[in-house]
A and B are shown apart, each in its own frame.
Chain A
Amino acid sequence: MGRLRSYSYLPQDLLEEILTRLPVISIIRFKCVNKSWYNLFENHTFIAKHHRHHSSQKNPSLLVEVEDSTTIPQRSVMSLHLADGLDSGVSLDMPFIPERLVYISDCINGIICLRELSSRLVLWNPAVREYKVIPNPPSHVHSPSNVCYDYPTFAFGYDHISNDYKLVQIGTYSTVLYDSIDQILHQVVHIYTLSTDSWRQIDTGFDHSILNFPGECSNNLYLNGVYHWPGCIILDKHGQHCEVIVCFDMRTKCFK
């Protein structure tokens, strides 16, 4: 037991090699060891290194939405460790009170974006049991005849340059012209930035009236900081259209 002192000279970089290999729950507990460890575990560089190490381990898990339709329909989230088989699911308890029906929208760097039926958005990190309810985006109302066309399309992404998380919402609104039966579709794009906890509208620079986004979309793809949606350009009134892929870069905030 007198040999315990031998650890006090372990250099910082080797100590970090050990700490990087700890599971998240241990890291949270060891924030209480001393101020230096607390600061280390809050440091973005260490967090990124820890995340990189654990992401590179070859033991994937699946996030699964579970719907229980036996009595009143309810949905919850489970984590399934593939190597242990399909029966090994562990329910992830939400530290907030969810509405009955929740949908997983995206999961980036261990942060899950949940959408509730009422369109409330919650960002949730199950590993550290922290969550944030996103404030509602400003609704865009020109006149009483504006109606929200469908569920807004939105995306959750990460800008690695500013180390910030962003949500993009595309709301499609229609305006009815009083002397015509035509509807004009407007699309309004808002971006939410986690570090400032605020929404702002952005100008996308292309003609929204011909570009149609599916409201509720399960074919999205997020890759390398760019979000991809399948979309549809309406070519004429007879329903002719061509399908396109629309990309949004989280960093430059540009659509293509």
Chain B
Amino acid sequence: MKFCTVKQYFDDENNNNVTNGIATTVIPLPNKHLKIKANNKEMEQYEQELLRNVMPQELTKLILAANYLNFKEALDFFCRTVANAIQNKSVDYVRKFFGLESDFEPGEEEKLCKEFAWSFEGVDED
């Protein structure tokens, strides 16, 4: 029931959305989830273990996979992980992370940074 799109994925050989590597990470999750559903701590540890070797940048692919497979718990987990990874980072780090560029007028950005100066306290070094 969680995986109505999985069958479609396996049937569709030209699928570019989800690579095999990602599939092997995402697909075992719901079974594990059901087994240790009642115990959140254990699930958290399992999730940390799973993502220990995954670079934050590769999480995009996991997010796309979870979305494609309509797997809400995994999507929530991966999005939360990215949010945790970037929440204390600088504006420049976040731009590089998402491949964005500043489109503010000269001076506009400085004005904003000054207005929100308190939110820059405790930011991680790049």
| A interface residues with partner B (beta carbon < 8 Å) | 3-8, 10, 14-15, 17-23, 25-26, 28-38, 129
Chain B proximity of A196: nearest CB distance (Å): 24
Find out whether the CB atom of A8 lies under 8 angstroms from the CB atom of B99.
yes
A146 to B98, CA, bound (A): 64
Give every chain B residue within 8 A of A37 (Cβ-Cβ).
100
Please, could you name 13 A-B residue pairs with CB atoms under 8 Å apart, sorted by A?
A3-B55, A4-B96, A6-B57, A7-B57, A14-B67, A15-B98, A18-B63, A18-B82, A26-B87, A26-B119, A29-B116, A32-B104, A34-B95
| B interface residues with partner A (beta carbon < 8 Å) | 55, 57-58, 60-61, 63-64, 67, 75, 79-80, 82-83, 86-88, 91, 94-104, 109, 112-113, 116, 118-120, 123
Give every chain A residue within 8 A of B118 (Cβ-Cβ).
129
A34 to B105, CA, bound (A): 10
For the complex, would chain A's binding face be called helix, strand, loop or mixed by DSSP majority? helix
Give every chain A residue within 8 A of B87 (Cβ-Cβ).
22-23, 26
Chain B proximity of A126: nearest CB distance (Å): 12
Top 9 closest A-B pairs, CB basis? A8-B99, A21-B83, A29-B119, A28-B119, A26-B87, A17-B79, A7-B98, A18-B79, A32-B91
A23 to B91, CA, bound (A): 15
A10 in contact with B112 given A22-B83, A26-B88 (CB within 8 Å): no
**Nearest-CB residue, chain A, relative to B97:** A7
Chain B proximity of A210: nearest CB distance (Å): 51
Chain A proximity of B12: nearest CB distance (Å): 20
A38 to B115, CA, bound (A): 13
Give every chain B residue within 8 A of A38 (Cβ-Cβ).
112
A31 to B119, CA, bound (A): 10
A17 to B83, CA, bound (A): 9
Find out whether the CB atom of A10 lies under 8 angstroms from the CB atom of B98.
yes
**Nearest-CB residue, chain A, relative to B104:** A35
A3 to B82, CA, bound (A): 16
Chain A proximity of B92: nearest CB distance (Å): 9
Find out whether the CB atom of A7 lies under 8 angstroms from the CB atom of B99.
yes
Give every chain A residue within 8 A of B104 (Cβ-Cβ).
32, 34-35
Find out whether the CB atom of A32 lies under 8 angstroms from the CB atom of B116.
yes
A30 in contact with B60 given A18-B83, A22-B83, A22-B87 (CB within 8 Å): no
Give every chain B residue within 8 A of A35 (Cβ-Cβ).
103-104
Find out whether the CB atom of B83 lies under 8 angstroms from the CB atom of A19.
yes
**Nearest-CB residue, chain A, relative to B82:** A18
**Nearest-CB residue, chain A, relative to B95:** A33
Interface-central residue, A15, A29, A34, A129, by most chain B CB under 10 Å:
A29
**Nearest-CB residue, chain B, relative to A19:** B83
Find out whether the CB atom of B58 lies under 8 angstroms from the CB atom of A32.
no
Give every chain A residue within 8 A of B96 (Cβ-Cβ).
4
A29 in contact with B98 given A6-B57, A19-B83 (CB within 8 Å): no
A34 to B116, CA, bound (A): 14
A28 to B57, CA, bound (A): 23
Give every chain A residue within 8 A of B102 (Cβ-Cβ).
33-34
Give every chain B residue within 8 A of A23 (Cβ-Cβ).
87
Give every chain B residue within 8 A of A31 (Cβ-Cβ).
112, 116
A10 in contact with B101 given A32-B116, A129-B118 (CB within 8 Å): no
Find out whether the CB atom of A6 lies under 8 angstroms from the CB atom of B91.
no
